[in-house]
């Protein structure tokens, strides 16, 4: 029996155009609530952005945002894990000086921050993933927030590999670098991820891990799918996730997550 469902958002629950079949989901969600199944949206995205997709369902969804760094339920912050501020500024300087990467988002608990020189094209891109965005002349001027993630957009696949490997080596034990799809690399705390956050929720709810149904498409979903035998990698997914997942789901553009959930609800 499934008692909890955990879904990644982009590339998994959402279609490629950042929408989902609301009528289909509404029909299934009524049964999810009636059967007292916990529904978790787990994403690398900002909490404010995640909740904006489900305005009428906030009371019945738990949000694991920023790759597990923050967890919200009933609009209340349940858990938060954040970086040492000095380390963050050091890493940002490395990214700027060594790799000359300009497309950077610094995620805080209260807002997401971008440089005020960011291009309009980049701002348009990140609005698919962040709802509250502030422009700053320098990240160092932010003093009233705690930082939970650095997100980088890198269009060069070879540079993605280089940055991930270099950051992992240079800041071993302090920072973990993971790909999250759409030319994105997320720099997160090494012991913080979707799997850790969801495991804590399952423990609080007294739900065994193998009563979790989980869906994902990228490497930031590895730990979440590793929790349960009811794990589904999307039709288009990373090679690493395909190895971890016990099952494959149809394409996100065909509402693959909803198709699988419907099958489980009928059991």
Looking at residue 143, what is its pLDDT?
A: 87
Q: What mean pLDDT is predicted for residues 66-91?
A: 93
The C-alpha angle 38, 39, 44, rounded to 5 degrees, equals 135
The C-alpha angle 177, 182, 183, rounded to 5 degrees, equals 55
CA dist., res. 9 & res. 129, Å (int): 10
pLDDT tens sequence across 210-246: 999 999 999 999 999 999 999 999 999 999 999 999 9
Q: What mean pLDDT is predicted for residues 61-68?
A: 95
Looking at residue 33, what is its pLDDT?
A: 97
Q: Which of 8, 10, 186, 221 is catalytic?
A: 8
8 tagged catalytic: yes
Higher pLDDT, 215 or 184: 215
pLDDT tens sequence across 251-267: 999 999 999 999 999 98
């Amino acid at each position: 029996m499934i008692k909890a469902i955990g879904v990644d958002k982009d590339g998994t629950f959402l279609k490629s155009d950042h929408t989902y079949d609301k009528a289909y989901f509404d029909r299934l969600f009524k049964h999810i609530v009636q059967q007292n199944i916990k529904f978790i949206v787990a994403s690398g995205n900002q909490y404010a952005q995640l909740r904006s997709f489900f305005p009428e369902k906030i009371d019945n969804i738990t949000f694991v945002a920023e790759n597990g760094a923050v967890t919200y339920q009933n609009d209340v912050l349940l858990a938060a894990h954040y970086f040492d501020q000095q380390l963050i500024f050091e890493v940002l300087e490395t990214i700027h000086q060594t790799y000359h990467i300009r497309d950077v988002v610094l995620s805080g608990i209260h807002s997401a921050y971008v440089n005020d020189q960011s291009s309009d094209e980049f701002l348009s891109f990140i609005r698919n993933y962040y709802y509250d965005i502030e422009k700053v002349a320098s990240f160092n001027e932010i003093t009233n927030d705690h930082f939970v993630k650095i997100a980088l957009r890198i269009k060069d696949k070879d540079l993605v590999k280089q940055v991930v490997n270099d950051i992992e080596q240079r800041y071993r034990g302090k920072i973990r670098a993971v790909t999250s799809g759409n030319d994105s690399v997320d720099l997160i705390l090494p012991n913080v991820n979707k799997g850790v956050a969801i495991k804590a929720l399952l423990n609080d709810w007294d739900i065994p891990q193998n009563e979790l149904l989980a869906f994902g498409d990228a490497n930031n979903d590895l730990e979440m799918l590793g929790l349960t035998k009811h794990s589904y990698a999307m039709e288009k997914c990373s090679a690493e996730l395909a190895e971890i997942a016990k099952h494959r789901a149809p394409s996100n553009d065909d509402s693959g997550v909803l198709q699988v959930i419907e099958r489980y609800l009928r059991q």
